[in-house]
Amino acid sequence: MLRSSSPGRRFVADSDRQPTSRARFVRGLAGPVGLGALALLAAVGPTVTWALWSDSATTAEIRFQPASFGFAVDWNDNISAIQRPDETVSIDIGPTEAMALVAGGTNDAGWMGLAVPFDITMMTSAGYAMDYVLELPHFDSTTVLGWGGTTPVFFQVSQPGECTVAAATTATPYDSDELVSGIDPGSGSPQTLVHHWCVVFEIAPPMYQNSATAVGTDAVGGVIAAPTTINSSWRVYHLPDPSLHSISQLEIIPVLTPGCDDSDSLD
- Quick: pLDDT tens for 44-76: 333 333 344 334 444 444 444 467 889 999 999
Q: How confident is the model at residue 251 (pLDDT cuts 50, 70, 90)?
A: very high
Classify residue 261 by burial, with Cβ atoms within 10 Å: 0-12, 13-18, 19+: middle
Q: How far apart are CA 261 and CA 66, in angstroms?
A: 10
Mean pLDDT, range 88-102, rounded to an integer: 96
Q: Look at residue 263 and tell me whether its pLDDT is greater than 90.
A: no
Q: Which of 87-96, 234-243, 252-261 has the highest mean pLDDT?
A: 87-96
Task: Please write down the HEC assignment for all residues of the chain.
Answer: CEEECCCCCCCECCCCCCCCCCCEEEEECCEEEEECCEEEEECCCCCCEEEEECCCCCCCCCCCCCCCEEEEEEECCEEEECCCCCCCEEEEECHHHHHHHHHCCCCCCCCEEEEEEEEEEEEECCCCEEEEEEECCCCCCCCCCCHHHCCCEEEEECCHHHCCCHHHHCCCCCCCCCEEEEECCCCCCCEEEEEEEEEEEEECCCEEEEEEEEEECCEECCEECCCEEEEEEEEEECCCCHHHCCCEEEEEEEEEECCCCCCCCCC
Mean pLDDT, range 132-144, rounded to an integer: 96
Phi, psi of 162, deg, nearest 5: -85, 0
Which pLDDT does position 7 carry in this prediction? 37
Q: Look at residue 211 and tell me whether its pLDDT is greater than 50.
A: yes
Q: How confident is the model at residue 234 (pLDDT cuts 50, 70, 90)?
A: low
Q: How far apart are CA 207 and CA 197, in angstroms?
A: 31
Do residues 101 and 115 make contact, with C-beta atoms less than 8 angstroms apart?
A: no
Q: Look at residue 9 and tell me whether its pLDDT is greater than 60.
A: no
CA distances from 206 to 22, 139, 140, 181, 237 (A): 42, 18, 16, 40, 5
Nearest one of 249, 251, 256, 247 to 88, comparing CA atoms: 251
Higher pLDDT, 199 or 230: 199
Which pLDDT does position 215 carry in this prediction? 59
Q: Which amino acid, one-letter code, is at 140? A: D
CA distances from 153 to 16, 242, 255 (A): 41, 20, 23
Angle at 209 between CA 204 and CA 210, to 5 degrees: 165
